[in-house]
Each structure stands twice: as structure tokens, then as C-alpha cells.
Amino acid sequence: MSGTHPTTVHAPARTPEPTAWSPGSWRARPAAQQPEWPDPEQLARVENTLALQPPLVLPAEIMELRGALGDVARGRGFLLQAGDCAERFSSCTEDGVRSKLRVILQVAILLTYGAGLPVVKVGRIGGQFGKPRSKPTETVDGVELPAFRGDIVNAPEFTAEARRPDADRLLRAYHHSSAAVNVLRALTHGGFADLDQAHAWNQEFVRRSAAGRRYEKTADEITWALKFMAACGVDVRSQTELHQIQLYTSHEALLPHYEQALTRFDEQRRAWFDTSAHMVWIGDRTRQPDGAHVELLSGIGNPVGLKVGPGTTPADLRELCERLDPQRAPGRLVLIARLGAGKAAELLPPLLRAVRDAGHEPVWACDPMHGNTFVSESGYKTRRLTDITAEVAEFFAVHRQEGTHPGGIHLELTGDDVTECLGGDLAEVLDDQLSSRYETACDPRLNAVQSIELAFRVAEFLRG
């Protein structure tokens, strides 16, 4: 140390002043919904290891999604964001990815037809492991343990050992994401994603039940559109655009230690990118304007999603948009309204106006899942397909009335034949059937049949 060093005694540190953004600047801010990591040294070791791993996605792909979402924001496309509420490590298999991809493609083709616009496909996949919880602990028979926060944090079994947060799971999450993204890339580029194949699955679905006939007309119209293209000389199997698809990845950026470790500087673009997924979003419980999550995502070049729940005021939203999109870049923000059926019609218009008047050009998407969750008589957390459809209908009606673009939908679905949500005309799920295949690690998802049925309805809304 230099002998000329002043000997002033400094006052104790106070709350730090806001400083310039860096990948670690979130650490000076309160982070909601964090596990109590029991071993800080283990956490630091894992962060260092993660920081040395290759990126899961590349800045060039992220920028491609930014461009596509910019088009959506300007009314030239539609966003489908869909997948599990919480992925499990055990579902990051070829079968697990394939069945989810299949239903996403089936929904996408219907939306493409309905919208008459390109559909940008983003999965809740390849990293959607962490869950915010309404309570930090769970009590069963007088025993209180930490809540299950997703495979990236702890395990679901109700034992003290399983529920103890384990930072090594951050590293396991990275490797499972890597495996899922790898198989996803192979499937989306290897012919599994053929347009006529996805359409054939939908036709089979329409034929399967009497209720399906309701959608026969739409399915037949798509058949004719494909025949028309073929007659014009477009061979759907040889056209790259029709033979391959781009399914981007996304998850909630809930755990800032993990996201920071995968945030990398891109020399070419002179910008930081979170390379854990193409798009990341901020949940309804972690959107404090001065909080850690908003700080971290404010500095990355990825498209950023923001959940907009019924407690969001127009002033809150204006402040958040200013923090996350000061440049007012079209499609930088995806505002995901999850207001609830019967509430969207009243709550959405002032939010749309606040954002528009402040000069932002976000993609507005409708998440009709999270505002419509309730506990059924049989004791299961569930959602009704009628409420889900009603919220989407309200969302479209409000946008038509306000002259804004209804830019997308955000769904929790699975390709498996689960019984987690109630209703459906094609294969109705009743309350006393919820227990038969209730498999979700967190929120109730639409099964494949319910998802396709909803997609046919949304295609109708899109066509007006």
C-alpha cells in the first residue's frame, strides 16, 4: 500500500447509488423469489463453472428473433409462445421434446392460417425449470419445509433433504437445457417439422370425434391452400421454409446467478446477450422496477418478456417500459397480459394506451392461463378451457377497439394426454377426472387435444 494513502474513516456503506449497468449490477438490488442457497461458496463455484460453458444460443439467432418480433410489433406477424409451466430434468429427452414440438407445430399451423401472417414460434422449453412460489414454505401435517422451486433449485419430494436448495442443480439445469436444445435443433431441421405432416395430424384430430367436425371447414381450407401451393409448383418438402422451422427457446429469468453466468459480451455487436435462451421474461412476482430482475434484463440485447398481471397500474407499466426499453425499439419488449377472463376488457385498455402514448412498440401477447387458475372441488389447482378461451376473445376485442395489434398468445401446454385443465368439447375433462393424469410439476397445462381445440378457436378469432 502506498504511504500517502489517506487515513480518513469512511461512513458505513449505505444503499448503493444506481450505477452503470453491468452483468453483475443486479447484485446491489433486492431480488425477489430467491431460494436461500445454504452454501455461498458452492454457489460461487457453480457460477464460475457455468461462466466457462459454451452459450446455449448465439447472438445472431437472438437478433433474428428480435427482428421477427419487431415485425410482430408492427402488425406483420403473430407470436406463439408455448410449453410447460415447469420443465422437469427427466423430460429433457427426445420423446419429451418431440411431443411438445409436435403440438406446438399443430397449433402454429392453425394460427398461421387464421392470421394470414407468419407465426413466430417460441417454446417455454430448454431451460424453463425455475418457479416463483406464492409461499416460500409448504406445510403438511404440521411439518414446514421450503417450497419446491423447480428442478433447478430443489426436488419435489416432501423431505428436508429434497427441499434443500442445491446450487449444483444450476449446473445440471444447464446440461439438461443443452441436451434439450440439441435435440430440438435436430428435430426442427430434420423434416419432423414438415408443414403437410403437421396438417395431417390436425386432420386426423378433426376426424376423430363428432365434436371435431366443427373444425372440419378450417382443416379443409388448409388442405386446399396446400394443394393450391403444390399446383403452383411449390413443393413443400423441398422448400427450406416449409420443411424446417425455427423454434426459439425461452424461460423465466428467475435466478439471476444463473442468467448472469450465461450473459456474454458479443464483440461483433458490441452488446451483452443472455445466451441461456433466445428470449427471457420477468414474472409477475419479480417485476419490481428497482429490483434485481429488471436491472439484469435491462442491459441485455435479447427480446425481454414482461408478465402484466391485474395488479399492474398504467404508471407501473410506463416505468417498467422505460427501464427495459428506453430506446423504444419495436419488438424489444413482449408484454404478456395475464389478467383473467372478465377482467381483461376493463384492465387492458388503459395499459395499452399508457404504453402507446409513451412511444413504445411492444408485442402484446395474451397469457390466458395465469389469471384463470383456481382450486377445484376435488382439490386440484386447475383452469377451465372456457375461461382460457374467453380471455383470448376479450384480448382480441380490446385490441380491435383500441386499434392496436393483438400480437400473440402465451400458453402452458403439453403434448401428453394429461388431465390438468377442465373442459373441452372434443375430449372433455371433468373435475372428478383431474386425479387420473395430473402430472404437472407446477401449474395445470392444456393437453394436446385441448390445445388444438383452443388453436382452432383462436384461428377463428384471428380471421375476425
Binding residues for phosphoenolpyruvate: 124, 307, 338
Feature table: binding site: 85, 124, 307, 338, 370, 412, 443
Decide if residue 394 touches Mn ion (CB under 5 A).
Answer: no
- To ligand PEP, the closest distance from the beta carbon of 442 in angstroms equals 7
- To ligand PEP, the closest distance from the beta carbon of 241 in angstroms equals 30
Segment contacting Mn ion by CB under 5 A, of 85-93, 173-181, 216-224, 427-435: 85-93
- To ligand PEP, the closest distance from the beta carbon of 410 in angstroms equals 8
- To ligand PEP, the closest distance from the beta carbon of 385 in angstroms equals 18
- To ligand PEP, the closest distance from the beta carbon of 291 in angstroms equals 14
Question: Which 3 state secondary structure label does DSSP give 258?
Answer: helix
Which residue in 35, 123, 126, 132 binds ligand PEP (CB under 6 A)?
A: 132
Distance CA 298, CA 294 (A): 6
Could you tell me the three cell numbers for 238? 423441398
- In the range 322-361, which residues lie near ligand PEP by CB under 6 A? 338
Distance CA 245, CA 106 (A): 12
Q: Are 419 and 442 in contact (CB under 8 A)?
A: no
Decide if residue 408 touches ligand PEP (CB under 6 A).
Answer: no
Q: Are 399 and 464 in contact (CB under 8 A)?
A: no
Backbone angles phi, psi at 174, to 5 degrees: -60, -45
- To ligand PEP, the closest distance from the beta carbon of 276 in angstroms equals 16
Residue nearest to ligand PEP (CB): 283
Q: How many CA atoms does the CB half-sphere of 126 hold within 13 Å?
A: 25
Closest CA to 119 of 134, 105, 131: 105
DSSP string, 329-355: -TTSEEEEE---TTTHHHHHHHHHHHH
Q: Are 96 and 182 in contact (CB under 8 A)?
A: no
Decide if residue 453 touches Mn ion (CB under 5 A).
Answer: no
Q: Are strands 408-412 and 381-382 parallel, antiparallel or unpaired?
A: unpaired
Which residue in 284, 443, 445, 459 binds Mn ion (CB under 5 A)?
A: 443
Segment contacting Mn ion by CB under 5 A, of 29-37, 77-85, 234-242, 307-315: 77-85
Per-residue burial over 48-72, b = 16 or more CB atoms within 10 Å of its CB, e = otherwise: eebeeeebbbebebbbebbebbbbb
Segment contacting Mn ion by CB under 5 A, of 109-117, 354-362, 435-443, 456-464: 435-443
Which residue in 66, 370, 405, 457 binds ligand PEP (CB under 6 A)?
A: 370
Amino acid making up residue 328: R
Segment contacting ligand PEP by CB under 6 A, of 14-22, 96-104, 106-114, 281-289: 281-289
- To ligand PEP, the closest distance from the beta carbon of 88 in angstroms equals 14
Could you tell me the three cell numbers for 354? 399508457
Decide if residue 85 touches Mn ion (CB under 5 A).
Answer: yes
Decide if residue 307 touches ligand PEP (CB under 6 A).
Answer: yes
Segment contacting ligand PEP by CB under 6 A, of 207-215, 216-224, 283-291, 344-352: 283-291
- In the range 56-115, which residues lie near ligand PEP by CB under 6 A? 85
DSSP string, 195-254: HHHHHHHHHHHHHHSTGGGGGHHHHHHHHHHHHHHHHTT--TTT-HHHH---EEEEEE--
Feature table: binding site for Mn(2+): 85, 370, 412, 443
Segment contacting ligand PEP by CB under 6 A, of 26-34, 236-244, 282-290, 351-359: 282-290
| Residues β-bridged to residue 83 | 124, 412
N-term to C-term CA, the chain: 74
Decide if residue 284 touches ligand PEP (CB under 6 A).
Answer: yes
Q: Which residues bind ligand PEP (CB under 6 A)?
A: 85, 132, 283-285, 307, 309, 338, 370, 443
Q: Which residues bind Mn ion (CB under 5 A)?
A: 85, 443
